Amino acid sequence: MRKWGVFFIFFALACGKEMNDESSMIPDPHSYANSGQCVVTHLDWRATVDFTTKQISATATWTIHRKEGNEVVLDAKSLKIDSIFLDNGKPAVFSLEGDDPILGQALRIRLEPETKTISIRYRTTPGAEALQWLMPEQTAGRQHPFLFTQSQAILARTWIPCQDSPGVRFTYTAEVTVPSNLLALMSASNPIEKNESGIYTFEMKQPVPSYLLALTVGDIAFRPVSDRSGVYAEPVTLEAAAWEFADLEKMIAAAEELYGPYLWERYDVIVLPPSFPFGGMENPRLTFVTPTLLAGDRSLTSVIAHELAHSWSGNLVTNKTWNDFWLNEGFTVYFETRIMEKLYGREHSEMLAVLNLHDLETDMREISSGPHPDDTKLKLDLQGRNPDDAATDVAYNKGYFLLRTLEEKYGREKFDAFLRDYFSTYAFSVMDTETFIDVFKTYYREHFNINVEDALFTSWIYSRGLPADFTPPSSDRFAKVEDAARNALEGQDITAATKGWTTQEWLHFLNMLPDTLTQAQLQTLDRLGRFTESGNAEIFSAWSLIAVRNNYSPIREPLRRFLINTGRRKFLTPIYTELAKTPEGRAFAEEVYRAARPNYHFVSTSTIDKVLSFDPPGL
Ligand SMILES: [Zn+2]
């Protein structure tokens, strides 16, 4: 792999486009696509969304660029392929091969010498893991059904046959027909209101990888925030969402000032129903977010800064395979933290950094005692595994702390200059870990006459855990929180000390509490922070873990409601894991999970099924 890195640097400097073409020759362990021989360049998608049958029927017409051979290979999973035509109208000879539980099938299509496009008529099936069909009662408005997709990491192939590898980029156009009382949106140019026909057209002019294909359909309204940004949500949520995300434009301006122009024209956000499995998903032009960000005090908007930052790290410079996932997420957490620092000050961003470290250490402890301790390295080997396994705090926060270390070691000015050039040089192309190391070393040598030691990357990227010489972040405000936590545990009334605390200070307070607490201590703490009744999902879930661990019964019913109504995996996984540690907890978890599971997206159920050793119905 290493020699490829050196090879790419040459091409990257010579011609960014060339590098992208060559790089697609590197096999992706999570795709059957033969993009080295024949690569897709444009998608025209014509689709009808039917809520009665919970099915999308579509024609996907792919424009191809052939370098050699007489076939194109796409990824497909749980799709019903009806027919395939070549551009001359002739039916194509094709086969669906294999049926891997993770990867799905290889769709091999025979090409004629002159073939430029292929049209695939197909339907999705109930097994489409990207799609979540919601009944009206699972939405905020409770009147209309809702659909959203989640394609990352390799689920795009369950709703569109495609070369489902982050190394393959294409532009797209689409025409989507939905019931006339609903609005459709994609990761593309979007409508801002419903029309009577229920037919919506879309265009994505900038090439994107398949994991950034996105569609959502529902009773959705729009509110502008600035000329180039706005918020979509169900009508009953719109007001709260627009208030919570009022700083959108300021965030875009801060991001541009840091690392260069925003290249995707518009930046909008849609607040989805609560079953959305992530905090946010960086679908280009239209970030998808969970309603658990609507805390009512704008305290959880760093997720928006994160998804916006992906417009550079990830969506412009994309990890080549999921083994390099830290390049997407570590850069994004770094960028997010810089946006937050610019808008709300260093004191605030340092609190976020300390919380990131806490999350990372918790996750690394868990991973180290599990079957894949090498997952605490930044560079992963996910061959034969679900690439979703890469989505741990290691990619996000160990990646962040490596970049923070590079910044601190050689100076912020140099690092910012490097990042600006990095994002512009490699825009719309892919990056792997080895190439990044070479690019960084070369840049620092040529621009600053600095020789960066290999040992630094070896200890961060190819070794488990955190390096011995890692300097953790610190926060003065958190030091005061730690004093208050000590005093509270000694029985002192700390009400006055907590006055004006932010969400981040409360979270740190909860993180500082010991594993074991008495019922009396729990009651006093709960009176102090009103955690059990908190509407802030971060605080409630952190408190739930403490309450479950210490068998604090008042948490039971609020926790049941929370688990049934929230589909965000980040909250669900630790809570179900903690519950499963005792027989009573496990019984409660299983009972709640049976009721809650239909409200969760596949991304969440695939994780929680494992936590609870749950046998999915029908399998
Ligand atoms: Zn991210």
- With respect to residue 466, please indicate whether it lies within any of the assigned structural domains: no
How close is the Cα of 282 to the center of ligand 1, in Å? 7
Between CA 553 and CA 533 the distance in angstroms is 13
Between CA 142 and CA 138 the distance in angstroms is 7
Same domain, 108 and 183: yes
> Which residues sit opposite 99 in a β-bridge?
none
Specify whether the CB–CB gap between 161 and 120 falls below 8 A.
Answer: yes
How close is the Cα of 380 to the center of ligand 1, in Å? 17
Same domain, 286 and 361: no
- With respect to residue 479, please indicate whether it lies within any of the assigned structural domains: no
Half-sphere exposure of 444 (CA within 13 A, CB side): 21
CA distance readout (Å), 194 to 183, 191, 478: 5, 8, 47
How close is the Cα of 81 to the center of ligand 1, in Å? 33
Mean pLDDT of 544-572: 97
Between CA 312 and CA 260 the distance in angstroms is 9
Same domain, 451 and 560: no
Specify whether the CB–CB gap between 269 and 232 falls below 8 A.
Answer: yes
pLDDT band at residue 17 using 50, 70 and 90 as cut-offs: very low
The DSSP output letter for 313 is B
What's the 3-state SS for 450-499?
A: CCCCHHHHHHHHCCCCCCCCCCCCCCHHHHHHHHHHHHHHCCCCCCHHHC
How close is the Cα of 332 to the center of ligand 1, in Å? 6
How close is the Cα of 56 to the center of ligand 1, in Å? 28
Q: What is the pLDDT of residues 446-457, one digit of tens each?
A: 999 999 999 999
pLDDT at 574 over 80: yes
| Residue type present at position 311 | S
pLDDT band at residue 22 using 50, 70 and 90 as cut-offs: very low
CA distance readout (Å), 177 to 134, 174, 195, 196: 18, 10, 11, 11
Residues with Cβ within 8 Å of 238's Cβ and at least 6 positions away in sequence, in order, are: 221, 222, 223, 231, 232
**CATH code, domain carrying 357:** 1.10.390.10
Helix locations, 369-471, DSSP H: 393, 399-410, 412-425, 433-448, 454-461
How close is the Cα of 308 to the center of ligand 1, in Å? 9
Specify whether the CB–CB gap between 430 and 8 falls below 8 A.
Answer: no
How close is the Cα of 547 to the center of ligand 1, in Å? 29
Mean pLDDT of 114-124: 98
CB neighbours (10 Å) of residue 481? Answer: 26
How close is the Cα of 41 to the center of ligand 1, in Å? 25
Specify whether the CB–CB gap between 131 and 56 falls below 8 A.
Answer: yes
How close is the Cα of 333 to the center of ligand 1, in Å? 7
Domain-terminating residue out of 434, 461, 488: 461
pLDDT at 18 over 90: no
R_g of the chain, CA atoms, integer Å? 24
Q: What is the pLDDT of residues 431-476, one digit of tens each?
A: 999 999 999 999 999 999 999 999 999 999 999 999 999 999 999 9
Q: Percent of the chain beyond pLDDT 70?
A: 95
Q: What is the pLDDT of residues 36-51, one digit of tens each?
A: 999 999 999 999 999 9
- With respect to residue 306, please indicate whether it lies within any of the assigned structural domains: no
What pTM was estimated for this model as a whole?
0.93
How close is the Cα of 269 to the center of ligand 1, in Å? 15
How close is the Cα of 255 to the center of ligand 1, in Å? 15
- With respect to residue 233, please indicate whether it lies within any of the assigned structural domains: yes
Same domain, 267 and 349: no
Domain-terminating residue out of 461, 479, 499: 461
Domain-terminating residue out of 461, 477, 497: 461
Q: Of the candidates 237, 36, 49, which has an alpha carbon nearest to the alpha carbon of residue 148? A: 49
- With respect to residue 485, please indicate whether it lies within any of the assigned structural domains: no
Mean pLDDT of all residues belonging to the chain: 94
Same domain, 519 and 375: no
pLDDT at 15 over 50: no
pLDDT at 389: 86
Same domain, 93 and 167: yes
Same domain, 183 and 233: yes
Q: What is the pLDDT of residues 85-109, one digit of tens each?
A: 999 899 999 999 999 999 999 999 9
**Two structure tokens written together for 12:** 């990257």
Specify whether the CB–CB gap between 30 and 165 falls below 8 A.
Answer: yes
SS3 75: strand
Same domain, 205 and 239: yes
Half-sphere exposure of 349 (CA within 13 A, CB side): 18
Same domain, 28 and 138: yes
pLDDT band at residue 283 using 50, 70 and 90 as cut-offs: very high
How close is the Cα of 522 to the center of ligand 1, in Å? 34
Q: Of the candidates 165, 211, 227, 186, which has an alpha carbon nearest to the alpha carbon of residue 44? A: 186
- With respect to residue 374, please indicate whether it lies within any of the assigned structural domains: yes
pLDDT at 21 over 50: no
Mean pLDDT of 398-414: 98
pLDDT at 13: 33
- With respect to residue 488, please indicate whether it lies within any of the assigned structural domains: no
How close is the Cα of 306 to the center of ligand 1, in Å? 6
**CATH code, domain carrying 578:** 1.25.40.320
Q: Of the candidates 214, 400, 429, 212, which has an alpha carbon nearest to the alpha carbon of residue 320? A: 429
How close is the Cα of 530 to the center of ligand 1, in Å? 31
| DSSP-derived pairing of the beta strands 38-50 and 280-281 | unpaired
pLDDT band at residue 12 using 50, 70 and 90 as cut-offs: very low
Would you put residue 188 in left (φ > 0), alpha (ψ -120 to 50) or beta?
A: beta
How close is the Cα of 101 to the center of ligand 1, in Å? 25
How close is the Cα of 355 to the center of ligand 1, in Å? 16
How close is the Cα of 604 to the center of ligand 1, in Å? 16
How close is the Cα of 23 to the center of ligand 1, in Å? 23
pLDDT band at residue 618 using 50, 70 and 90 as cut-offs: low
Same domain, 167 and 291: yes
**CATH code, domain carrying 96:** 2.60.40.1730
Q: Which phi and psi angles does 289 have, rounded to 5°?
A: -135, 160
- Number of compact structural domains in the chain: 3
How close is the Cα of 281 to the center of ligand 1, in Å? 7
pLDDT at 26: 56
SS3 229: strand
CB neighbours (10 Å) of residue 473? Answer: 18
pLDDT at 4 over 50: no
Same domain, 126 and 14: yes
Domain that holds residue 571: 513-611
Query: Would you name the residues annotated as active-site residues?
Result: 307, 396
- With respect to residue 106, please indicate whether it lies within any of the assigned structural domains: yes
Same domain, 424 and 519: no
